[in-house]
Amino acid sequence: MTSTPITDALRYRPGTDLADLDTRATPGFDGDKDDAAKELPDLAPEMADLQEKLFAAGYTGSGQRLLLVLQGMDTAGKGGILRHAVGLLDPGGMRLKAFKKPTQEELAHDFLWRVSREVPAAGEIGIFDRSHYEDVLVVKVHELTDAAEIERRYDAINAFEKNLVDSGTVMIKCMLHISKDTQKERLLARLEDRTKQWKFKPEDIDERGHWDEYQAAYATALERCSTAHAPWYVVPSDRKWYRNWAIGQLLREALRAMDLDWPTPDYDVEEQRARLENEREGGE
Ligand code: AMP
Ligand code: MG
């Protein structure tokens, strides 16, 4: 039911006003909620095959790896994506990292220090729940460092990502785009449900008070850090089923584009077969 490649439909094009991108849209999908919910699990066998090929390639010396970066306002659905779309992947070849408020030790280093230690190794799929972009988002909104340092960071991020990509990483950077009304609904839903109250913090409402400043900071990050090597994707996320489906598709498209195949053994298969077949009791 996909009409255009999802990467084309969702890629952020510099110059676009973030506010003009509809948070309820469903680009690249022409079905409904039920269709999306049915299609997502259908991706699992192909994803498993591609992921195992990626892992096997890493095992035999390829530098290929994949990094999915998830950013979004509170309640945008990072957790839901981990359960639904990322849940299709084998945890064995996956590396998940949630970035929280930096520790004292982390703050004593350059902002990329803690991030560079968490990038996926060859053959792995890395998932960042928040990322180095917090250092130009929350840090900018709350003026946690001076303006010149924040200004420096956009170029530093581009150079960091260029290095990752040049050494074999495919990056999928996703902004989960929700409306302010949707956030209110979801925060209210958290308060109303005993099983969700733990996800709510009173500070979430304070952060919401800075909505416009966050949107402006996101707009600048998208504008400055959408590069040919590491584009941003804006995923409309007011509809949870579309958001999950779209991330699943982005992962699949990225894996497909990596042109993965089973590695060729570095030994002679026939020779090894003969050795086993000619094996005699008590040794060769
Ligand atoms: P959550 O993802 O809801 O568990 O929240 C993690 C919190 O850590 C959020 O409030 C982020 O804004 C905050 N955080 C993550 N990275 C940074 C950073 N580099 N500087 C300051 N706060 C951060
Ligand atoms: Mg939170």
- Give nearest CA residue, ligand 1 atom 12: 138
Please tell me the distance from the alpha carbon of residue 228 to that of residue 91, in angstroms, as a whole number: 29
Q: Is residue 193 part of a domain?
A: no
The reported pLDDT for the residue numbered 231 is 98
Angle between helices 33-42 and 240-257 (to 10 degrees): 30
Q: Is residue 68 part of a domain?
A: yes
Find the CATH number of the domain harbouring 41. Answer: 3.40.50.300
- CA of residue 54 to ligand 2 center, whole Å: 32
Index of the ligand 1 atom closest to the CA of residue 199: 3
Domain of 95 in residue numbering reads as 6-179+210-258
The reported pLDDT for the residue numbered 2 is 45
Q: Is residue 216 part of a domain?
A: yes
- Give nearest CA residue, ligand 1 atom 2: 100
Q: Could you give the number of structural domains in the chain?
A: 1
- Give nearest CA residue, ligand 1 atom 23: 101
Q: Is residue 267 part of a domain?
A: no
Taking the CA of 114 as reference, the closest ligand is 1
Index of the ligand 1 atom closest to the CA of residue 132: 19
The reported pLDDT for the residue numbered 147 is 97
The reported pLDDT for the residue numbered 282 is 62
One digit per residue, the tens of pLDDT, for the chain of length 284 reads 444 699 999 999 999 999 999 999 999 998 999 999 899 999 999 999 999 999 999 988 899 999 999 999 999 999 899 888 888 898 889 999 999 999 999 999 999 999 999 999 999 999 999 999 999 999 999 999 999 999 999 999 999 999 999 999 999 999 999 999 999 999 999 999 999 999 999 999 999 999 999 999 999 999 999 999 999 999 999 999 999 999 999 999 999 999 999 999 999 999 999 999 999 866 55
Q: Is residue 187 part of a domain?
A: no
228 DSSP 8-state letter? S
What pTM value is reported for the model?
A: 0.95
pLDDT tens per residue, range 99-151: 999 999 999 999 999 999 999 999 999 999 999 999 999 999 999 999 999 99
DSSP string, 15-73: T--GGGS-TT--TTB-S-HHHHHHHHHHTHHHHHHHHHHHHHHHHTT---EEEEEEEES
